[in-house]
């Protein structure tokens, strides 16, 4: 016992030293809209609008188009850019994004960046320099204490730091925005040769922008949004630090020039300079988001607004068909009950999620795998992504192929309504992380999504069934031939063994 005393004392001392100054001085600020004479104001006002209250949506399903849209909008910024993301990496695609923010700030545009603390350590040395720009301000959502190792934060303050901001939004001049599932990193924009994250975003204009800016301001001025000065040491020479950061970003960004990506990105930028009149879909919508209070140590069901009740209410109104697209699909008791009730009403339920071979989260797969037989037994149609499928493994014909991983989060209800956002069908999205999304009530768009998904299933997924003995089987296509697998396709013994081992861990409510 006496030998453990120094360890206990040290642990108590470190616990006492663990601190995040949530009361660090900061000024409230709010969205800035460009005036009627700005480029984006004139361009958007010239577009034919829908009915009163409708917003305009432009799908950005192509990875390179999605990066190009953000780049173009940042180039057009005249007054403000507001960006909130779960992850912003300093890789080539991330460097291009960050450089576009710096260039806008150089023109006098006010830039506010709110980022979750999930991976801020990856570019900590650059955060202080970026924040040193007089027109750029960065805040970190629910940060880890910087005077302790990150792993020790998890030991002594797990209930708080376990709650992350999963929101993703990009707003320019309070006139145009981008919402959807993509973080800022090369794998989300087709800029990595080894892996492609299949995702979807929507550019949007109209009344939804007021809702987007309102959400951003709510998060930005919330107690859990901490100025980085409270976490990182301010550079001794801010100008020199910013110049050094510019050089590093430019060097990293130039990596995109090595290969075909630069050419297709350039063409995508040219294609996205202006939104054509016939590209926008005008529709009624419902914008949903979790209040940032969900990131505090309290029961999430006591927080308002929350995205989950609205999503469940929307699902309960379905009459004929529900298509769920969720890379991390872990239905717990409430989710299983919802899907079972839908099937008992005769409603067709299709679920598309990652296979063990395509997922980037093996731990999450261990939470999903035990539910498959129950779902199949009630008639849910399960499809898992084939990571080597040609349509998924590359975004352009002239781009190198990589492993395809599903990252889009969407559902289509009765081919009348489409939800796209950050919400996964799992406990983490429902009860732990903050999430957001939009329900677009446009039957032609919803039907197109449903048709595209169902058409793509045979060539890009494995369909799961049960044989006469109740054992799982995976049916897919290989070289044009139908193949039935007895084990998870494209996986090895040890990979499957690890999942089976993880299944017994009591952590499913954290997945």
Q: Which residue of the set 89, 116, 157, 168 is catalytic?
A: 168
Q: Which residue of the set 157, 293, 407, 426 is catalytic?
A: 407
Residues sharing a CB contact under 8 Å with residue 38, sequence separation 6 or more, in sequence order: 78, 79, 173, 175
CA distances from 404 to 125, 324, 362, 435, 484 (A): 32, 18, 15, 24, 21
- 247 included as an active-site residue: no
- 222 included as an active-site residue: no
- 468 included as an active-site residue: no
- The pair of three-digit structure tokens given for residue 349, joined into one six-digit string: 């339920």
Residue among 397, 393, 381 at smallest CA distance from 357: 393
Q: Which residue of the set 62, 157, 173, 290 is catalytic?
A: 173
- 409 included as an active-site residue: yes
E-strand stretches of 117-191: 136-141, 169-172, 176-180
According to DSSP H, which parts of 115-184 are helical? Answer: 124-131, 150-156, 158-161
E-strand stretches of 334-456: 348-354, 381-385, 403-406, 410-413, 417-421, 436-440
| Residue 42 φ/ψ, nearest 5 degrees | -65, -40
Q: Which residue of the set 89, 285, 365, 409 is catalytic?
A: 409
Cα–Cα–Cα angle for 475, 198, 388, nearest 5°?
A: 40
- 414 included as an active-site residue: yes
Q: 339-370 b/e with 16+ CB inside 10 Å = b?
A: bbebbeeebebbbbbbbbbbbbeeebbbbbbe
- 487 included as an active-site residue: no
- CA pair distance 92, 47, nearest whole angstrom: 34
Residue among 381, 370, 442 at smallest CA distance from 413: 442
Q: Which residue of the set 62, 201, 414, 426 is catalytic?
A: 414
- CA pair distance 36, 255, nearest whole angstrom: 38
The number of C-alpha atoms within 13 Å of 222 and in the hemisphere containing its C-beta is 22
Q: Which residue of the set 62, 82, 116, 166 is catalytic?
A: 166
Report, as residue numbers or ranges, the catalytic residues. 166, 168, 173, 407, 409, 414
């Amino acid at each position: 016992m006496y030998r453990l005393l120094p360890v206990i004392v040290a642990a108590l001392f470190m616990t006492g030293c663990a601190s995040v100054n949530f009361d660090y001085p900061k000024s409230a600020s709010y969205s800035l809209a460009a005036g009627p004479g700005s480029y984006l104001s004139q361009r958007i006002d010239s577009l034919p609008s829908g009915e009163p209250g409708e917003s305009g949506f432009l799908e950005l399903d192509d990875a390179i188009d999605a990066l190009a849209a953000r780049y173009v909008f940042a180039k057009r910024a005249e007054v403000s850019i507001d960006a909130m993301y779960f992850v912003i990496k300093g890789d080539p695609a991330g460097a291009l994004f960050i450089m576009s923010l710096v260039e806008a700030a150089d023109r006098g545009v006010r830039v506010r960046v709110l980022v979750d603390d999930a991976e801020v350590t990856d570019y900590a040395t650059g955060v202080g320099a970026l924040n040193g720009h007089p027109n750029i301000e960065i805040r970190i959502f629910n940060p880890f204490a910087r005077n302790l190792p990150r792993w020790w934060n998890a030991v002594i303050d797990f209930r708080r730091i376990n709650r992350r901001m999963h929101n993703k939004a990009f707003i320019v001049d309070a006139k145009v925005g981008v919402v959807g599932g993509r973080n800022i990193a090369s794998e989300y924009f087709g800029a990595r040769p080894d892996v492609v994250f299949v995702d979807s975003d929507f550019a949007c204009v109209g009344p939804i922008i007021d809702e987007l800016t309102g959400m951003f301001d709510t998060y930005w001025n919330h107690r859990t949004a901490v100025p980085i000065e409270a976490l990182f040491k301010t550079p001794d020479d801010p100008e020199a630090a910013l110049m050094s950061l510019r050089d590093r970003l430019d060097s990293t960004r130039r990596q995109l020039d090595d290969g075909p990506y630069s050419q297709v990105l350039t063409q995508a930028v040219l294609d996205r300079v202006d939104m054509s009149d016939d590209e926008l879909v005008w529709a009624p919508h419902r914008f949903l988001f979790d209040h940032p209070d969900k990131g505090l140590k309290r029961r999430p069901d006591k927080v308002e607004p929350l995205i989950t009740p609205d999503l469940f209410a929307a699902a309960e109104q379905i009459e004929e068909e529900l298509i769920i697209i969720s890379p991390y699909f872990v239905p717990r008791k409430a989710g299983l009950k919802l899907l079972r009730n839908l099937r008992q009403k005769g409603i067709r339920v299709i679920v598309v999620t990652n296979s063990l071979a395509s997922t980037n989260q093996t731990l999450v797969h261990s939470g999903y795998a035990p539910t498959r037989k129950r779902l199949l037994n009630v008639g849910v149609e399960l499809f898992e992504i084939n990571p080597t499928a040609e349509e998924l493994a590359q975004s352009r014909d002239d781009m190198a192929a990589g492993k395809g991983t599903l990252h889009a989060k969407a559902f289509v209800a009765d081919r009348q309504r489409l939800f796209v956002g950050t919400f996964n069908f799992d406990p983490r999205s429902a009860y732990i992380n903050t999430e957001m999304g939009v329900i677009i009530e446009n039957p032609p768009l919803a039907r197109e999504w449903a048709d595209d998904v169902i058409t793509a299933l045979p060539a890009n997924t494995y369909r799961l069934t049960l044989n006469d003995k109740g054992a799982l089987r995976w049916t897919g296509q290989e070289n044009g031939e139908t193949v039935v697998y007895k084990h998870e396709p494209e996986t090895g013994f040890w990979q499957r063994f690890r999942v089976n081992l993880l299944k017994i861990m009591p952590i499913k409510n954290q997945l």
